[in-house]
Structure 1
Amino acid sequence: MNTFRVLKTAVTDVAATTTQPGATAARTGVLNLSKGFTLQTPNFLAPTSRGVVPHLSPDNLEKNTGVEGVYVALEDFIEKAPQRVPPLYTYPSTLRSFISLPKSTFLVLSPRRSPAITCPKANSDANLSILTSVGFRDLPIKDYVSAIVRLEPDIVLGIADIANTVSPGKNRVQKMAMRTEKWLDELLGRVYECEDGSKDGEKKTVPAVFAPILPLEKERQRFYLSHLVENVEKLSGLVFTSADFVDVVPEELGGLPKLQSDVMGGPHQVLEMVGRGSDLFNVGFVGATTDAGIALHFTFSADEVGDGEEKLELATDMWDAKFATDLSPLDEGCECYTCKVHHKAYIRHCLEAKEMTAWVLLQIHNLKVVERFFGGIRKSIEEGWWEKGRSGFEKKYKSEMPVGTGLGPRLRGYQYKSVGGDKKLNEPAYRSLDSGDEDEL
C-alpha cells in the first residue's frame, strides 16, 4: 500500500512564503511505496535520458551516489511508433529491467520529459503530442495507460493537457480540465482494475498514482480539483508542471505528497518550493550544471550564515585555466568519490581533452552536493531552524548559477528550445578537406 505521513511542519511565517493564507508550510514526511521503498521528504529525483541518469552507468549510480529515485519519460522510448512497435513494448520484463535500474532506486514514470518541449501539434481527446528522437509524434492515451501495467513503475504520473499558450482562453481551459480529468480516470481505472489481478500466481502491486495539477488559477480549474477531492482515496500524490500553482491545492488534498516535475532554477527555487509545502523535486538543474562543466558547492546549515554583503557563488566553472595545476578536491570536506580520489587539475584536464570521465566525476559530485542539501533541509525542519537556515542561505549565496565557458557534451534536441534562425549548438563532427583546413587538423 502506498502511504504518505507528515512528520513535522516548520514554524514559519506563511504570509512571507505564499500568497494563499493558510497554505502548507515546509514539512518533513515519509513516503512508503507498495514495492517496499521508503523515502524521507523533502527529497529529490534524478532526471534521466532514455532511462539512464546522464553520464552515470547503473553501477556507478548505485555505488557512488545517494540517488533514491529517478524520473523516466515514456516518450524517450517510442521514437518509431506507430510505424514500428517500440522495443520497450515487446520486452518480456519490466521497465526497471529494461533500463537496468538498481534495485535500491525507485522509478517514476511520466509521459513526457520535464521540462517538455512544446509540440507544434495540439493534443487531442485521444492523443498526447510528444517529441521523440526522430521528431514529433502522437502518444495514444490508451497506450500510456496500458503500458503502466506492463512496465510496473513504482510511481506513475497522470497526463495533463497543457495548452501551448501562456494564457489560454475560457474554452481552452475547459478542454484542459475535461481532458485531464478523463485521462486520469482512465489511468485510475486501469491501475485499480489490476489490483487483485495476478500473473503466474503472483499478486501485482499497485503503483502510486500522482494526479497532475494544471498550471491555472484555482478558480479556473475548480471543477477538476473537486474531482480530485472526490477520488482522493485512489491518489498517492500530486504533480506540478509549474512552481507557481502549488497554492491552488484544496485543504482535502493537503496530506498528499507534492512533486515538482521541473526544477531548473537551482537551490533557491527548491527552498522557495519547500517553504510552500512541496515534498519531491525533479532536479533538472543538476544535469545542466554538469553538462556545462560546473561543480556545485553549496550547503544548507545552521552554522553557515551569510552577512549579505558579498555573496558566494553556488558553483565553480571547472573550465577556468586557474585549475590547471590545482591539486585540491572540488570541495574541501566532501566525501563523494570524486573529491576523495581526484583533484581539480585532473577534472579540468579531462574537460579540455573532451574525455567523458570529466562529466562522470562532476555528476557524482554534484548529486552528492544536492543529497547533502536536502539532508540539511530535513534536519532544519526537524530541529526547528528552517527559517534561520533559509534566510542565511539567501544571504550567503548568489541566486544565479555561473555560466560555463567551455563546450560540453553534444546537446540532444530535447535539451533546448529552438527558435527560427538559431545557429547550431554542436560543432560539426567532420570538416571538409577542400576548404584549406588541412593544417588545422
Structure 2
Amino acid sequence: MAISSLSSPSGARVSSVTVKNKVLKTPCFFLPTSRGTVPHLTPDNVEEFDIPALYVGLEDCLDRLEASPILTNEGTIKKWIAAPSVQPTLLAPRRTSPLPSVSAGQSHINIVTASGAKKLTNDLYIKAVLKLCPELVIPLNDTPTSPPGVKRKPKIVERSVNWTTELLLALKATDAFNTTKVFFPVPDLDTQYLTPIFQFFQENQLANNIAGLAFSNNVNPLPADLVGLPRLSIQKFESPLEILKCIQRGIDIIVPDMITQATDAGVALTFSFPPPSKDVLNSKIELGLDMWDERFATDMEPLQSGCVCKTCRRYKRAYVRHLLQARELVAWILLQLHNVYAFTAFFQGIRASIQEGNFDEDVRKFEEIYMTSFPASHGFGPRKRGYQMDLTNVQPVENKPAWISMKSPLEKEIANEYEALKVTERKEDTQDYNEPELHNSNDPTVDLYADTYATQAATESDSELEDALFSQLDEFDDTAYREQRLEMLKKEFARVEAAKEKGHMQFLTVENEREVMDFTLSSKKVVIHFYHPDFIRCKIIDSHLEKIAKVHWETKFIRIEAANAPFLVVKLGLKVLPAVLCYVNSQLVDKIIGFADLGNKDDFETSLLEFRLLKSSAIDRLKEESSSNKSIYHDELQNNQSDDSDFFE
C-alpha cells in the first residue's frame, strides 16, 4: 500500500492506493459515520457517490461492550452498516470528534458510548476487528483530549507500540491478515518521544504489514523509510482552508466532520477548488449559504450555480428553505446530498491542481478570495439523542406524548403506594441516612457540646461528658431554662450518634461511581474529592479534608480516584485535579478545582478550606480547636473567641 506520488514544493502529493479491489486516488476523504450510518443518507444514496471509504468509530456501537449487538449478531461490518460490498470501511476505536475522557490504563482506554462511559480493552477491540473484518483499521491508541503531562507521554508511545503489535499478531493468526490493513496511530508528541515507534518499524518484522500512518493532529518529521506510507489525519477541521494547509504538510487522507456539521446547521457548501477569479468589488466570497436566511425565501436559483448534484438539478433554494422552516427532514437529506457532492468535487480539484503544479498558488488564492469561516446559522439543526452528541443548536422537543394514562383512581393509588415501597426498600438497601429534623435554637451551647460530644476520645464515656454539662447547668438557677437546654442537647447527641453510626467523621475512600451517587442521595451534606494517587496536591487536599472530617459530624466526606469514575468526570467536566465537589440535598453547590481558590499555594491552612466549605453550606459552622474547654454560657463563648480571627458567620 506504499505511495508513489507526484508532489508539490510544499509537500502536497497526488497518488493512488489500493484497498482490497478498489483504487483510491489521493488526496481524498473518508466520510465519517454516526452509529454506523452516514447522517441523513440512506445506503442507496451513499452508493451513488464515489466515496473512497467510510469511517466507523467503534465506541458509537459499544453500548454494552462485549454484549453489544454489533458483536453478538452475525455478519461483518458491511452487514452492520448496510454498506455496498465494494465500499471500503475504516474501523477506529473512537469517533472523529470524541468527547473528553479520563486517562487510559495499561490495557484499556476510556470511551463514551450512548449509555455512558466504558472501558474498552485491547482484547475486546481485537475481538471486534476479527469479527467485523474491516478493510482498514486503526489500532487501539491512547490519544488524550487534552495535552498530556510529561509522565504520560512515554506511556502513550509504549501503548501504541504494544497494542499495535498485539493486533498484528492476532491478525497474523487468522485469514484476516491479508484482507485487513493496519494504519499505525502516531501520537501528537515531539519527535524525541517517537524514537520507540521508529525502532519498531526498523526492528520488528510485523512492521512490514503496516499499511499507513494515522495522525491525530500535527504531522511529525518522519524517517526516510516511512515517507512513502499513506498518511491519514483524523484531526478536527473548522474550514476547508485548514484541510488545504494539512494537505500541504503531506497528508493524503482526510476524515472531515464539517460536511455533516454544515448540513445540520442548514448550510449549503458553495466553495470550490481551484478558486474562481477574484471579485471585482474586492469582497470575499462565502464558503456556504445559510439556507435559513430570509433572502432565500423566493430565490429560484439552485443551491450552487453550475452544480450538477441531484439536489441542484431538481430543487431551488426557496424550496429547501421552506422545508427547513417546516422542520421537514427531507431538507437535511437534500443538503447532505449536495454537500457530499461538493466535497467530492473539492478533492477532485485538489488532485488536478497538484498534478498541474499550481497547488501552492491555488491555496494562496483560496485564502485570499474566500472567507475564513462558515456563515452563522439562523435556525436549529435536526433533533439528536444521547449525551455523546453535541446538542447545541438542535431542535427542541415539541410534540406531546401520544398516549395518556388510562388507570383508574384506585389503580393510581396502588401504583403510588408500590412506588413508595420501592423507594423505601432502596433506602434500606443502601443504608440511607436521613437526618432528623431539629428545631434550630440558634444557641451556641447546643452547638458547642454537640461538637465536644462528637470529638470526644474513645476512652471518655458519655456519662462523664454529661456530668460536666450538668455541673455547669447547676450553676444556672433557672429550672425551665435548664430543662430546655437538656432536651435540646439530648436531641443533638442523638443526631451525632446516628451520624457516627453511618460513617460520618471519617474520610472514606470509595471504589466506584455507584457508591458516590448513593452517598449524595443518602446524606444531606457530602464533600467529594476526585483525586489521582500520584498527584502531590491531591495528597495535600486529603490531609486537610481528613482533619475537617473528624470535627464536622454533620457532613459526609469521601474521595474517589478519578480513573474509577470516568462517567462522573465527563459529566461534571473535571479536567484538573484535585477537584473537590460539595453537595447539599443532592444538589451540586460548589466546585473547588485545583488550588486557585485556596491562595494558589501548597502550604495553605486548613481553616481556609474549611471557610470555603462553610460559604458553600457544605458544613454548618466553623469548629473551635478545643471546644471541650469552652463555657456553655453564650457570653463566655464570645469572650473566648480569638480577636484575630478572620472568619465569621
Please give the range of the TM-score, normalised by the shorter of the 2 chains: 0.7 to 0.9
For normalisation by structure 1, the TM-score amounts to: 0.86
- Range 150-159 or range 121-130, more displaced: 121-130
Q: How far is the alpha carbon of 1:294 from its aligned partner?
A: 0.2
Q: What pairs with 1:379-390 in structure 2 (closer than 5 Å)?
A: 379-390=352-363
1:37 equivalent in alignment to 2:17: no
- Deviation per CA, 1:97-151: give whole Å up to 9, x if none: 11110233210000110111112x4211122211111111111210111221111
CA distance in 1, matches of 2:281, 2:243: 20
- Paired amino acid for 2:54: V
Partner of 1:115: 97
Which shows bigger deviation, 227-236 or 261-270?
227-236
Task: State the Cα distance separating 1:406 from its structure 2 match.
Answer: 0.2
Native 8 Å contact 2:380 2:393 kept in 1 = no
1:329 CA drift (Å)? 0.4
**TM-fit CA distance, 1:408:** 0.8
Mapped contact 2:382–2:394 kept (Cα < 8 A): no
Q: In structure 2, which of residues 88, 102, 105 is the aligned counterpart of residue 106 of structure 1?
A: 88
Per the alignment, do residues 306 and 272 of structure 1 end up closer, same or farther by CA in structure 2, a change over 3 Å counting? farther
Q: Corresponding residue for 2:302?
A: 329
Structure 2: distance between partners of 1:296 and 1:424: 19
Q: Give the equivalent residue in structure 1 for 2:63.
A: 79
Deviation at 1:384, TM superposition (A): 1.4
Shift of 1:177: 1.2
SS in 2 for 1:5: coil
- Percent identity at matched positions? 33
Q: How far, CA to CA, are the matches of 1:395 and 1:271 in structure 2?
A: 13
The separation in 2 between residues aligned to 1:224 and 1:307, in whole angstroms, is 52
Residues matched between the structures, number = 398
> Aligned-pair RMSD on alpha carbons?
2.1
In 1: Cα distance, 2:353 partner to 2:88 partner: 25
* 2:30 partner SS: strand
Distance 1:145 1:190, change over 3 A: same
Structure (1 or 2) with the greater helix fraction: 2
CA distance in 1, matches of 2:61, 2:243: 29
Within the alignment, does 1:358 sit opposite 2:331 as a pair?
A: yes
Aligned: 1:182 with 2:182: no
Structure 2, unpaired ranges of 5+ = 402-649
Cα offset, 1:73, TM superposition? 0.9
**Secondary structure of 1:128's partner?**
strand
Give the C-alpha shift of residue 89 in structure 1.
1.0
Q: Evaluate the alpha carbon distance shift between residue 76 and residue 314 of structure 1 in structure 2; reply closer, same or farther with a 3 A threshold.
A: same
1:234 aligns with 2:209: yes
Task: State the Cα distance separating 1:50 from its structure 2 match.
Answer: 0.9
Whether the 8 Å CA contact 1:302–1:388 is kept in 2: the answer is: no
Change in Cα spacing, 1:336 to 1:177, as seen in structure 2 (3 Å) is same
- 2:396 corresponds in structure 1 to 427
State the TM-score, normalized to the length of structure 2.
Answer: 0.59
Could you say which structure has the larger radius of gyration? 2
One-letter code of the match for 1:47?
A: P
2:244 — aligned with what? 271
Q: CA deviation at 1:430?
A: 4.9
What are the superposed Cα offsets for residues 340-394 of structure 1, whole Å, 9 maximum, x if unpaired?
Answer: 0111111101101111100001001011111111001100111111122111111
* Change in CA separation of 1:259 and 1:164 when aligned onto 2, cut-off 3 Å: closer
Asked if the contact 2:303/2:317 (under 8 Å) is kept, the reply is: yes
The answer to whether residue 52 in structure 2 is matched with residue 68 in structure 1 is yes
1:4–1:29 Cα contact (<8 Å) kept: no
Q: 2:113 aligns with which of 132, 155, 159?
A: 132
Shift in Å at residue 303 of structure 1? 5.7
Q: 1:332 to 1:104 in 2, by over 3 A?
A: farther
Structure 1 segments (4+ residues) deviating >6 Å: none
1:96 counterpart = 2:82: no
- State the match for 1:246 in structure 2: 219
SS in 2 for 1:109: strand
Q: 1:109 to 1:308 in 2, by over 3 A?
A: farther
The alignment status of 1:281 with 2:254, answered yes or no, reads yes
Kindly provide the CA deviation profile for residues 196-216 of structure 1, in whole angstroms up to 9, marking residues without a partner as x. Answer: x7xxxxxx7421100001011
* Aligned residue number for residue 155 of structure 1: 136
Offset of residue 301 of structure 1: 2.0
1:4 to 2, 6, 16: 2
SS at 1:170 equivalent: coil
Equivalent position amino acid for 1:55 in 2: H
1:209 aligned counterpart, secondary structure: strand
| Structure 1 Cα separation of the partners of residues 2 and 309 of structure 2 | 30
Following superposition, the deviation at residue 425 of structure 1 comes to 5.8
TM-superposed deviation, 1:270: 0.8
**More relative contact order in 1 or in 2 (CA 8 Å, sep 6+)?**
1
Using the alignment, how far apart are the partners of 2:388 and 2:127 within structure 1? 25
Aligned CA distance change for structure 1 residues 285 and 164 (closer, same or farther; 3 Å)? closer
Counterpart amino acid of 1:398? M
Alignment equivalent of 1:315, drawn from 275, 288, 305: 288
1:281 partner letter: I
Which shows bigger deviation, 257-266 or 177-186? Answer: 257-266
CA deviations over 1:228-254 (Å, ceiling 9, x no partner): 344541210011111xx2033332211
